[in-house]
């Protein structure tokens, strides 16, 4: 089992181009993601969620603190941490299958084998017949599934997801939440999900982390078991009606609400 660790990580951005003044965006973040965990990070807009994910991915370097996988500092982005982007970031010059096969191509996997594996992954996300489709012919939900299949193709130890379902309608979103949960439980990769939705965080994650803004810091790190209940076949409505669910939902809502009052 692997662990992705952020230890006392802070991040400051320059206030503007010319001045040397900086603004602290993340302050003293310590977070450990084991490869059998599903962590959801919630917080107001601007609380630094994307910055946190970009740090974990290696796109940004922390101003202070350490980021490591199994004790080894990450030098930058790496194939052990695959990212699913908010606006899919699929390559429009490749069809769906070649997008999924892209990480394999980078690794020098032979064409036949690439096609076979990409086909399998597309089937896994329920898009077996869409391989030859152009990206612009796919709906938003299909694109996100291709994006997830592409991330899985690189066989990462950690999946980093930045609001992948944010732009979808409620119905598609609910379907893809269930789908993400299945993918996570089958693939045994650690997942870090950024989301705006308290409900989404609670239904998917094994731990819900709340980020408060200015500067972004962790104000709560709460275990949740609703995803496992869902996987075990417990009906969604029954889960949502349970007192534990209500209690956690109210608690998290309160936490995020206090933030916004503070900031206002």
Partner 1 sequence: MSIDAGTIAPAAPVGPEAAQPETVQAKRSHGTLPISLATIAAIVAGWSLASAYGIVSPLFLPSPLTVLKAIYNVAINGFVDSTLAQHTLASLLRIFAALAASVAIGIPAGLAIGTSRIGKGILDPVVEFLRPLPPLAYLPLIIIWIGIGEASKITVIALAMLPPIILSTAAGVKSAPADFTNAARSFGAGRLQILLHVILPGAIPSILTGTRIALGAGWSTLVAAELVAASQGLGFMIQSAAQFLVTDIVIAGIIVIAAIAFLLEILARLLERWFVPWAAHR
What number of chain residues touch ligand ATP (CB under 6 A)? 10
Nearer to partner 1, 144 or 229 (CB): 144
Q: How many residues does the chain have?
A: 264
Cβ atoms within 10 A of the Cβ of 61, count? 12
Verify binding: residue 92, partner 1, rule CB under 8 A: yes
Question: Between β-strands 38-43 and 207-212, what pairing exists: parallel, antiparallel or unpaired?
Answer: parallel
Select the span of 81-89, 125-133, 171-179, 190-198 touching partner 1 (CB under 8 A). 81-89
Asked if residue 81 binds partner 1 (CB under 8 A), the reply is yes
Kindly state the smallest distance separating residue 49's Cβ from Mg ion, in Å.
5
Phi/psi for 47 (5° steps) reads -80, -5
- Residue 51 interacting with ligand ATP (CB under 6 A): yes
Residue from 5, 35, 47, 95 in contact with ligand ATP (CB under 6 A): 47
Q: Is 110 in the site for partner 1 (CB under 8 A)?
A: no
Q: How far apart are CA 235 and CA 229, in angstroms?
A: 9
Q: At what angle do helices 140-153 and 96-106 cross, to 10 degrees?
A: 20
Shortest distance in whole angstroms from residue 1 CB to partner 1: 21
91 binds partner 1 (CB under 8 A): yes
CB nearer to partner 1: give 79 or 110.
Answer: 79
- Residue among 259, 261, 264 nearest 43 (CA): 259
With CB cut-offs between 5 and 8 Å by kind, which of ligand ATP, partner 1, Mg ion, none does residue 190 bind? none
Answer whether 87's CB lies under 8 Å from 108's CB. no
User: Which DSSP helix (H) or strand (E) runs through 142?
Assistant: helix 140-153
Question: Residue 233 has which token pair?
Answer: 């076949």
The secondary structure of residue 74, as a DSSP letter, is P
13 contacts ligand ATP (rule: CB under 6 A): yes
Report how far residue 179's alpha carbon sits from residue 230's, in angstroms, rounded to the nearest whole number. Answer: 11
Give the residue with the Cβ less far from ligand ATP, 15 or 123. Answer: 15
Between residues 27 and 163, which has the closer beta carbon with respect to partner 1? 163
Number of residues in contact with partner 1, rule: CB under 8 A? 29
Residues of this chain that bind ligand ATP (CB under 6 A) = 13, 25, 43, 45-51
């Amino acid at each position: 089992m692997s662990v992705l660790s952020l230890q006392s990580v802070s991040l400051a951005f320059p206030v503007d181009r010319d001045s040397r003044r900086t603004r602290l965006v993340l302050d003293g973040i310590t977070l450990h993601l084991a490869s059998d965990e599903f962590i959801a990070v919630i917080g107001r807009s601007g609380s630094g969620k994307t910055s946190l994910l970009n740090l974990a991915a290696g796109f940004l370097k922390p101003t202070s603190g350490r980021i490591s996988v199994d004790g080894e500092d990450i030098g930058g982005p790496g194939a052990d941490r695959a990212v699913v982007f908010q606006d899919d970031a699929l390559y429009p010059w490749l069809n769906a299958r070649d997008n999924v096969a892209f990480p394999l191509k980078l690794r020098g996997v032979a064409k036949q084998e690439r096609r076979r594996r990409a086909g399998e992954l597309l089937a896994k996300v329920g898009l077996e017949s869409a391989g030859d489709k152009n990206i612009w012919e796919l709906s938003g939900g299909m694109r996100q599934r291709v994006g997830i299949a592409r991330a899985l193709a690189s066989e990462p130890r950690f999946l980093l997801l930045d609001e992948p379902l944010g732009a979808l309608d409620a119905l598609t979103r609910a379907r893809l939440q269930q789908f993400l949960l299945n993918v996570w439980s089958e693939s045994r990769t650690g997942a870090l999900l950024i989301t705006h939705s308290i409900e989404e965080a609670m239904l998917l994650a094994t731990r819900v982390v709340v980020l408060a803004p200015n500067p972004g810091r962790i104000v709560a790190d709460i275990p949740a078991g609703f995803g496992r209940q869902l996987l075990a076949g417990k009906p969604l409505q029954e889960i949502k009606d349970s007192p534990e669910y209500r209690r956690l939902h109210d608690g998290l809502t309160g936490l995020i609400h206090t933030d916004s009052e503070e900031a206002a």
